[in-house]
Structure 1
Amino acid sequence: MFRERGAQRGRAATVAARLSAVAAMGWLAAGLVAHVATPAAQRPDLFGSPEPLIGPAMAIVGAVLLGRVPGHRVLQLMTVIGCFACVYAGSAGLAVYGFTGGDDPALVFRIAAWLTLWTWVPSFVSFATLLPLIFPDGRLVSRRWRPVAITALTLIATMSLLTAFTDIQPEGDQPPNPVAISLPRPVLDAVQTVLDPVLPALALLGLASLVLRFRRTDPQGRRQIAWVGYALALATLAAFVAPPPVNVLVTLTVPLAIGLAVVRYRLFGIDVVLNRTLVGTALLACSALVYIAVVGWLGGLAGAPDSVIGFIGAVSVAAVFHPLYVRIQRAVDRLLHGSRGDPYRVLGRVTEVLRDAASPRPALAGAVAAMAADLKLPAVSVRVDRPEASPVVESVGEQALAVHAFPLQWHDDVVGTLHVAHRAGTDRLDPVDESLLADLATQLAAVGFALRLATDLERSRDGLVTAREEERRRIRRDLHDGLGPQLASAVMALDVAARALGQEPARAVPLVTTAREQLQDAVADVRRIVHDLRPPALDDLGLLGALQATGPGLLPGRDGAPQIRISGSGELSELPAAVEVAAFRITQEAMTNAIRHAGAEHITVRLAGEGASVGIEVVDDGRGCPGDAPAGLGLQSMRDRAAELGGTCRISDAPGGGTRVTAVLPLGGNP
């Protein structure tokens, strides 16, 4: 029910606005007819002010569009402004005609003269103060602006009453106000002194609210404000440089721009219009300078008639027109959109930044800054995802604005995402922007992959340092807690035996035996520690020989031990120490798993020295490794040993059943 009442009120207000507009334009038409009928010598320059044109334009646009957007306050205010402007212009024409014919004009002409005193106030003052406060959606920017709006309404009402019922603004030969209230002149002067600074202050506040709204609103709202700003700038420029009536005609763009912005109907990009205007103005100015320079120079020589000089000047302008157009268009495009029109320049700039960067992280930061500057984008952000680490984000501007995403694709892997924001005043990216940003994302993908590799390298380095310190701690603990006490006890036993030799030789024998056993245990511990560091068999027998010597003895004396066949090919004798130890441990662990966990009966081990790497293959006929089985400590240890050297280790099902372990260890370490 409330919606129906609101709709009825909106329709009633639209009908009232349209009837008022028709009546006001009828009054204006009568005033124009009277203006034409006035003798030319006494006829004032009615079209020297914008009201005869801006009034009907505002009234028509507001009243017509109210049917499209009922109840819109901006359109209602436009209609009110247009109606009062029409009444003012029509009253001016009627008043001059009536008072020109005699000293006792008819009542209608006296009413018209009275209307000219005050109808300009609700028209001009509302346009200057109230309209900017509620444009383009009919609401204030915030509640804090209510006092400004109330002050503007109070000013309009006060000035209308004062000008309608006092002599606060006498204008020379204008007839006296027939309904003026007699007030002392000092009082009128004081009131006018107070009101004079209020109007410009409110006008400045209205412009400030537009600027604030432009900064806070969405791209669509910015485009609406930009259209009206462009029309106002054009009308202001025409007022100073264009002769009458051209400057007055240009003011018609203001109501048209307001109506276009309010209804958002086919709201074309203001940036296109601004681009064409700048290019056309600059091209016209440069062409005029060329013409004036050529004609002036040839005229100074005075060697040719004026017609020839003009022809030569025109030919000169035609010769430089196209080169000037190309250069001016490029300069304007670069001013408004950066280097979007020259993609090779942008790509070259980003490539240069990436090349000169010391590491991947500064390269990303520099590339993001270069893209934002060269493409005039308000926000650019790059995110690189790192496994088992926090993502790396480099951004310029407010990240929340960067809503357009481009993946950083490196081969079959997406290493991150490039996020960008559209330019101010638009709600999307142009196809040219999308194509260029896709190419830039390809370049940044390589940097993102390098950043991942750097992260992995840093993690591996930290792991190696940690492993080294843990190994040192283990060796120190073994020496301090195991070998140290054993040697100390043996020394003490030998000291006691030495003292007993002189007095009780028989007592020294068991002491020496005890010391001997302790020293044997110490020797065994030393061998164990040394074996953990590097198996001695590697130094004595080499990799292949050490495996052949230790492989069959994994389960000595046990019935049903599996058959183990170990073979090798290629160069396996001069391997780096780290590669040799890793190959030995991986192979031993694979054979141990096959015996203990898979119940294998046959195990085949193949080693191959392939020039730049060592290949390992261990195949058994056991129960195999289920795909969903969690990786134990042994399997993870094999993978970690291979990864430390930059190699790979894979566990898969063997053909015919069982498990197959393959590893490749590069001889040069990390590639």
Structure 2
Amino acid sequence: MVEPVFEERATQKGRAATTAARLSAAAATGYLVVGLGARLATPAADRVDLLASPEPVVGPAMAIVGATLLGRVPGHRVLQLMTLIGCFACVYAGSVGLAVHGFTSGDDPALVFRIAAWLTLWTWVPSFVTFATLLPLVFPDGRLPSRRWRPVAITAVVVIGTMSVLTAFTDVQPEGDQPANPVAIAVPDAFLDGAQTLLDPLVPALALLGLVSLVLRFRRADPQGRRQIAWVGYALALAVLAAFVAPAPINVVVTLAVPLAIGVAVVRYRLFGIDVVVNRTLVGTALLACSALVYVAVVGWLGGLAGSRDSLVGFVGAVAVAAVFHPLYVRIQRAVDRLLHGSRGDPYRVLGRVIEALRIAGSARQALTRACTAIAAELKLPAVSLRIDRPDAAPVVESVGEEELAVHAFPLRWHDGVVGTLRVGHRAGTDGLDPLDESLLADVAAQLAAVGFALRLATDLERSRDRLVTAREEERRRIRRDLHDGLGPQLAAAVMALDVADRALGQEPGRAVPLVATARDQLQVAVADVRRIVHGLRPPALDDLGLLGALQAGGPGLLAGSNGAPDIRIEGSGNLAGLPAAVEVAAFRITQESLTNAVRHAGAGHIAVHLAGDPDAVRIAVVDDGRGCSEKAVAGLGLQSMCDRAAELGGACRVSAEPGGGTRVAAVLPRGGHP
């Protein structure tokens, strides 16, 4: 019960402070208007040049902007300082106009003009010195860069207070024909000279330290903070420097850059987090301008036709404005939302742009880059990053903007797994993503998951092709070794034995008989080697019995002579005849390897093999009741070989655990032999 009470009191104090700031800004601006009116009533020869100081323009701009934004961010110290600086600048400028008018109109000016003259003596201090020393220290978040800067801030506050008191209650700064301070306190000249000697160099030193703190803050800030500091920070630094070294017209123009830079930072980079205020302000301003234009156009046209502008013409103009008001509001709101938030309100447009970017891309990698660019452009996001995870390979990362800003993650889900992550950064000046953004980005991530999966498939295919090329070269090396080291010497030995037997026939016929027998044995061994090599390339049973017959002839014979031999059933359906040689060999080897694994490693008691000859592919299913396989188990050479054989033909091979125990091997081999 205690915490809500304190929160309510804090809210009430914040509202009261905001109301006070707005009333002060309104009063100070009104006072400035009165002073400008008094200036216009002053003879031209006696008027004060408005460009002699920046207060007449900078004052109302900073007072109104600061007081308005305080309603959005109550208690923000930078906005409070802006309002304070603007109010005192307005009071100073208005007092100058009133004082000059009063003292040039007669010899005995009224009390109000004397008070205005007194205000001109000291109100420039809390305006200019605060602007030059204190504002850079706390910009843009209202806090000091660190605790080490507290002495600087305290010194600046003390200097502002001291200078305000001295200029308000002493004659420390009489200028030209300005009347003496009516409330001056008698102070020794030595004290005033010492104070002025101390304060004159202290103010520029504090201003320089303020600029140094701004530079340090800029270097340490994140990219979003740098964007917020850049515009206003540069303008503020130039204005402070120009106030000390530039002549009057130049320093006025440079100081005007500060409120302009604040406007740019507010609209473009959402300084002070006033996204809603900017949205409503732009919509209201544009709607008011368009409504006024419609009213003037209708009234002017009808008035020209009727020759007069009576009440009926005004009524018709009001009706015309009412008729176009809602359509204008809808279109203007949509345009402003698109300016600030991109196409967030039109999800079909965003999805269409992303899909179009994916369609025109030349590769999966280029599709990711184009998708990042499209998302960032359509949603006005500062950073978009796509990461595709690839097994046994480095991830693929494509990004737009500064990647460290992308802190919001959306998984790319495909089937039962996650193939990657979409990361985005929230818009400047906001604390996170809007629910509309999150919903839309989740839909976009679903579209990008297909691209991520395609990239992973391309990587797997490339790796499989590399392994297949390596395996093919190893197979060629093995055949070459068998022919060169095995079959070649055997044939050479047989030839030599026959040569010796041929020479022995004429002189010693008895020696020829064992030599011929030796040659015959060597040739028989060579024939067996040839058969072994040929069987390794393509099993002869495939040509004799076909795919299903070859498997049925060899499969049930596995460990048939041992105790506990498994029960193997091999069945087929569909058209399994006339298969391409590559498909037939791959199906035979995959099935044979599956049976071998089930018998040797899984300890299966029952193994069921089914081959289906579909019109477009051969489907293989090998199911056993063995120990099964773990999803985290590392695939061995046999399993990898099965997957590679299927991938080479454009198919797929998957090994999974059965729900009730055991293992299932499922392979699909296109009949064409290519994807």
TM-score by length of 1: 0.65
Find out whether 1:127 has 2:169 as its counterpart.
no
Could you say which residue in structure 1 is the equivalent of 2:286?
282
Could you say which residue in structure 1 is the equivalent of 2:341?
337
Q: Answer yes or no: is the 8 Å Cα contact 1:568–1:608 preserved in 2.
A: yes
Q: Aligned to 2:431, which of 415, 418, 427? A: 427
Match of 1:306, SS state, is coil
Can you list the C-alpha shifts for 1:553-593, whole angstroms capped at 9, x where unaligned?
A: 66698899888765544433322223322333344445556
Q: Answer yes or no: is the 8 Å Cα contact 1:368–1:396 preserved in 2.
A: yes
Q: Which amino acid aligns with 2:125?
A: P
Q: How far off is 1:437 after superposition?
A: 1.4
Q: Answer yes or no: is the 8 Å Cα contact 2:137–2:153 preserved in 1.
A: no
Can you list the C-alpha shifts for 1:85-112, whole angstroms capped at 9, x where unaligned?
A: 9899999999999999988999xx99x7
Specify whether residues 469 and 298 from structure 1 end up closer, same or farther in structure 2 by C-alpha distance, changes over 3 A only. same
- Which stretch of structure 1 is more off in the superposition, 367-376 or 600-609? 600-609
Find out whether 1:137 has 2:139 as its counterpart.
no
Q: Which amino acid aligns with 2:494?
A: A
- Which stretch of structure 1 is more off in the superposition, 313-322 or 511-520? 313-322
Can you list the C-alpha shifts for 1:352-387, whole angstroms capped at 9, x where unaligned?
A: 111111222211211111111111111111222223
Find out whether 1:354 has 2:375 as its counterpart.
no
Match of 2:419, SS state, is strand
Specify whether residues 604 and 516 from structure 1 end up closer, same or farther in structure 2 by C-alpha distance, changes over 3 A only. same
Task: Choose 1 or 2 for highest CA Rg.
Answer: 1
Q: Answer yes or no: is the 8 Å Cα contact 2:214–2:233 preserved in 1.
A: no
Can you list the C-alpha shifts for 1:228-285, whole angstroms capped at 9, x where unaligned?
A: 99xxxxxxxxxxxxxxxxxxxxxxxx9xx9xxx9xxxxx9951222222223333334
Q: How far, CA to CA, are the matches of 1:586 and 1:102 in structure 2? A: 115
Specify whether residues 560 and 507 from structure 1 end up closer, same or farther in structure 2 by C-alpha distance, changes over 3 A only. farther
Q: Answer yes or no: is the 8 Å Cα contact 2:342–2:380 preserved in 1.
A: yes
Find out whether 1:448 has 2:452 as its counterpart.
yes
Can you list the C-alpha shifts for 1:484-518, whole angstroms capped at 9, x where unaligned?
A: 22233334444455555566555555444433333
Q: How far off is 1:533 after superposition?
A: 0.5
Q: Aligned to 1:465, which of 465, 469, 476? A: 469
Q: For residues 646-657 of structure 1, what are the structure 2 equivalents within 5 Å?
A: 646-648=651-653, 650=655
Specify whether residues 494 and 524 from structure 1 end up closer, same or farther in structure 2 by C-alpha distance, changes over 3 A only. same
Q: How far, CA to CA, are the matches of 1:469 and 1:74 in structure 2? A: 74
Q: How far, CA to CA, are the matches of 1:461 and 1:568 in structure 2? A: 30
Specify whether residues 528 and 315 from structure 1 end up closer, same or farther in structure 2 by C-alpha distance, changes over 3 A only. same
Could you say which residue in structure 1 is the equivalent of 2:175?
169
Q: How far, CA to CA, are the matches of 1:284 and 1:214 in structure 2? A: 42
Could you say which residue in structure 1 is the equivalent of 2:525?
521
Q: For residues 529-540 of structure 1, what are the structure 2 equivalents within 5 Å?
A: 529-540=533-544
Q: How far off is 1:211 after superposition?
A: 12
Specify whether residues 210 and 285 from structure 1 end up closer, same or farther in structure 2 by C-alpha distance, changes over 3 A only. farther
Q: Answer yes or no: is the 8 Å Cα contact 1:132–1:209 preserved in 2.
A: no
Q: How far, CA to CA, are the matches of 1:654 and 1:73 in structure 2? A: 65
Could you say which residue in structure 1 is the equivalent of 2:395?
391
Can you list the C-alpha shifts for 1:604-653, whole angstroms capped at 9, x where unaligned?
A: 76555454444556678xx9436569876556655655565524465767
Match of 2:579, SS state, is coil
Find out whether 1:439 has 2:443 as its counterpart.
yes
Q: Answer yes or no: is the 8 Å Cα contact 1:85–1:120 preserved in 2.
A: no
Specify whether residues 338 and 601 from structure 1 end up closer, same or farther in structure 2 by C-alpha distance, changes over 3 A only. closer
Q: How far, CA to CA, are the matches of 1:329 and 1:610 in structure 2? A: 58
Specify whether residues 168 and 393 from structure 1 end up closer, same or farther in structure 2 by C-alpha distance, changes over 3 A only. same
Can you list the C-alpha shifts for 1:171-215, whole angstroms capped at 9, x where unaligned?
A: 467789998999xxxxxxxx9xxx99x98x969986994996599
Match of 2:389, SS state, is strand
Q: Which amino acid aligns with 1:459?
A: R
Could you say which residue in structure 1 is the equivalent of 2:307?
304
Q: How far off is 1:440 after superposition?
A: 1.2
Percentage of matched positions with identical amino acids: 58
Q: Answer yes or no: is the 8 Å Cα contact 1:223–1:270 preserved in 2.
A: no
Q: How far, CA to CA, are the matches of 1:317 and 1:669 in structure 2? A: 71
Q: Answer yes or no: is the 8 Å Cα contact 1:381–1:402 preserved in 2.
A: yes
Q: How far, CA to CA, are the matches of 2:567 and 2:440 in structure 1? A: 64
Specify whether residues 204 and 372 from structure 1 end up closer, same or farther in structure 2 by C-alpha distance, changes over 3 A only. farther
Q: How far, CA to CA, are the matches of 2:508 and 2:365 in structure 1? A: 78
Q: How far, CA to CA, are the matches of 1:336 and 1:126 in structure 2? A: 36
Q: Aligned to 2:577, which of 569, 573, 578? A: 573
Specify whether residues 590 and 274 from structure 1 end up closer, same or farther in structure 2 by C-alpha distance, changes over 3 A only. closer
Q: Aligned to 2:419, which of 403, 415, 418? A: 415
Q: How far off is 1:224 after superposition?
A: 11
Match of 2:307, SS state, is coil
Can you list the C-alpha shifts for 1:373-406, whole angstroms capped at 9, x where unaligned?
A: 1111111112222233332222112222222222
Q: Answer yes or no: is the 8 Å Cα contact 2:602–2:628 preserved in 1.
A: no
Find out whether 1:273 has 2:253 as its counterpart.
no
Q: How far off is 1:664 after superposition?
A: 5.5
Q: Which amino acid aligns with 1:625?
A: R
Can you list the C-alpha shifts for 1:418-466, whole angstroms capped at 9, x where unaligned?
A: 2111110110212221222122122112222222222222222222222
Q: Answer yes or no: is the 8 Å Cα contact 2:387–2:421 preserved in 1.
A: yes
Q: How far, CA to CA, are the matches of 2:470 and 2:643 in structure 1? A: 17
Q: For residues 48-447 of structure 1, what are the structure 2 equivalents within 5 Å?
A: 116=119, 118-135=121-138, 136-140=141-145, 169-171=175-177, 209=214, 216=221, 269-292=273-296, 304-307=307-310, 317-447=321-451
Specify whether residues 335 and 663 from structure 1 end up closer, same or farther in structure 2 by C-alpha distance, changes over 3 A only. closer
Q: How far off is 1:543 after superposition?
A: 2.2
Specify whether residues 292 and 181 from structure 1 end up closer, same or farther in structure 2 by C-alpha distance, changes over 3 A only. farther
The alignment covers a number of residue pairs equal to 581
Q: How far, CA to CA, are the matches of 2:569 and 2:175 in structure 1? A: 118
Q: How far, CA to CA, are the matches of 1:559 and 1:181 in structure 2? A: 121
Match of 2:423, SS state, is strand
Q: How far, CA to CA, are the matches of 2:177 and 2:457 in structure 1? A: 84
Q: Answer yes or no: is the 8 Å Cα contact 1:165–1:181 preserved in 2.
A: no
Specify whether residues 105 and 606 from structure 1 end up closer, same or farther in structure 2 by C-alpha distance, changes over 3 A only. closer
Q: How far, CA to CA, are the matches of 1:174 and 1:382 in structure 2? A: 71
Q: Answer yes or no: is the 8 Å Cα contact 1:569–1:607 preserved in 2.
A: yes
**What root-mean-square deviation, in Å, do the aligned CA atoms of Structure 1 and Structure 2 show?**
6.3
Q: Which amino acid aligns with 1:126?
A: V
Q: Answer yes or no: is the 8 Å Cα contact 2:85–2:131 preserved in 1.
A: no
Specify whether residues 617 and 159 from structure 1 end up closer, same or farther in structure 2 by C-alpha distance, changes over 3 A only. closer
Can you list the C-alpha shifts for 1:42-89, whole angstroms capped at 9, x where unaligned?
A: 9x999x9889x99xx99xx9xxxxxx999x899799889989998999
Can you list the C-alpha shifts for 1:305-336, whole angstroms capped at 9, x where unaligned?
A: 23366566555555544444433333322222
Q: Answer yes or no: is the 8 Å Cα contact 1:133–1:140 preserved in 2.
A: no
Could you say which residue in structure 2 is the equivalent of 1:65?
none
Match of 2:413, SS state, is strand
Q: How far, CA to CA, are the matches of 1:513 and 1:211 in structure 2? A: 98
Q: Which amino acid aligns with 1:120?
A: T
Q: Which amino acid aligns with 2:136?
A: L
Match of 1:417, SS state, is strand
Q: Answer yes or no: is the 8 Å Cα contact 2:81–2:135 preserved in 1.
A: no
Q: Which amino acid aligns with 2:521?
A: E
Q: How far off is 1:481 after superposition?
A: 1.9
Q: Which amino acid aligns with 2:468?
A: L
Q: Which amino acid aligns with 1:216?
A: A
